[in-house]
Chains A and B, each alone.
Chain A
Amino acid sequence: MKVFWRILDFIVAGIFIYAGVLKVLDPVQFGLDIDNYKILPWFIGVRLGFYLPWLEIFCGVALVFRVVYHGGLSILTALSLIFIGATVAAKVRGLDITCGCFGHASQHWNFGQHMTIDLAIFFALGALLWIELTGGRLDDKES
């Protein structure tokens, strides 16, 4: 079972590292994607456009190497929850937006596709967090 959780670590980490790298290559575009949600003013959105991709990469790496693992897992879970909340809020307000989660790759995703991916990631993170908190993984190499 330990192998299963470790594989899940790698999958989730890979998704966030991939998403982070795509966005690091064009932080202004990601800033524009954040701006599309009409939640934050531009001067914050553009700064988050530079910051969040790096945060995703660092947290992904933390999951891969199990270094500062709990911190990485907690941040990614919180980020995932925020993405879901923002996507739902945008939908409720009738905004036709691209999430920008995976750069241009996600440009033409519809709401259902956004939510499916976001929820899948969120539940995977939740499962990893749960198994850590309950000690189910029985891994003695925690940082």
Chain B
Amino acid sequence: MLRAVRQGLLLLALAALPAIGQAFYLRNKVSWESPIPASELVAVDQARAWGDSAIWIDARPDDEFARDHVPGAFSLNEDHWNELLAQFLPNWSPDKKVVVYCSAESCNAARDVAKRLRDEAQLKDVFVLQGGWEEWVKKNR
């Protein structure tokens, strides 16, 4: 038992070395304080001020989108990614800013959809709406 503990501690310490090295190497590319870097977040007021130059993406499930959504928003969730992306892309142009939202501050869907839009669809200017749908409703109703 003592041997297992000693060996375990050794492994725990050894694994920390490359992890620290990798974290140090990538230190400037990682958002350490928040899962979404501040530069990729946009507040409701600012996003609304963008007017027609913003395209809204609703990353919530289909039924929530059907219940209500930001006027003019496109539904794009990971459940039907390929199908919904194909519907959305013809409406996108390089001069547009993309604002993605999900239910609330704590949801992950907007972050994940925004990441996929950047990585897979190679879109620029993709932002996550701070506070999500909940915040939008607060500011608009």
> Could you list which residues of chain A lie within 8 angstroms of chain B, going by C-beta atoms?
24, 27-28, 31-32, 35-36, 38, 42-43, 45-47, 50-51, 53-55, 57-59, 62, 68-75, 143
Contact = CB atoms under 8 A, between A and B. Distances in A.
A38 B4 CA distance: 31
* Chief secondary structure at chain A's binding surface: helix
Contacts of A47: 23
A58 B7 contact: no
Nearest to A48: B19
B33 A42 contact: yes
Contacts of B33: 42-43
A73 B12 CA distance: 12
A97 to B, nearest CB: 8
Contacts of A54: 15-16, 18-19, 22
Given A43-B32, A51-B19, A54-B15, A70 B3 contact: yes
Contact of A74 (B4, B15, B22, B23): B4
Interface of B: 3-12, 14-16, 18-20, 22-23, 26, 29-35, 106, 108, 111-112
Majority SS at the chain B contact face:
helix
A71 B9 contact: yes
Contact of A58 (B15, B32, B111): B15
A62 B11 contact: yes
Contacts, number: 81
Given A42-B34, A43-B33, A71-B11, A51 B6 contact: no
A46 B30 contact: yes
A68 B11 contact: yes
Nearest to A67: B7
Given A36-B108, A58-B15, A27 B22 contact: yes
Given A42-B33, A46-B32, A70-B7, A55 B23 contact: no
Contact of B30 (A28, A35, A57, A70): A28
A80 B123 CA distance: 37
Contacts of A38: 106
A43 B11 CA distance: 23
Nearest to A29: B115
Q: Which of B7, B23, B29, B108 counts the most chain A CB atoms within 10 A?
A: B7
Contacts of B31: 46
Contacts of A73: 4
Contact of A32 (B5, B15, B108): B108
Given A51-B19, A55-B15, A143 B35 contact: no
Given A43-B32, A46-B32, A71 B8 contact: yes
Residue of B5, B15, B108 with most partner-chain A CB within 10 A = B15
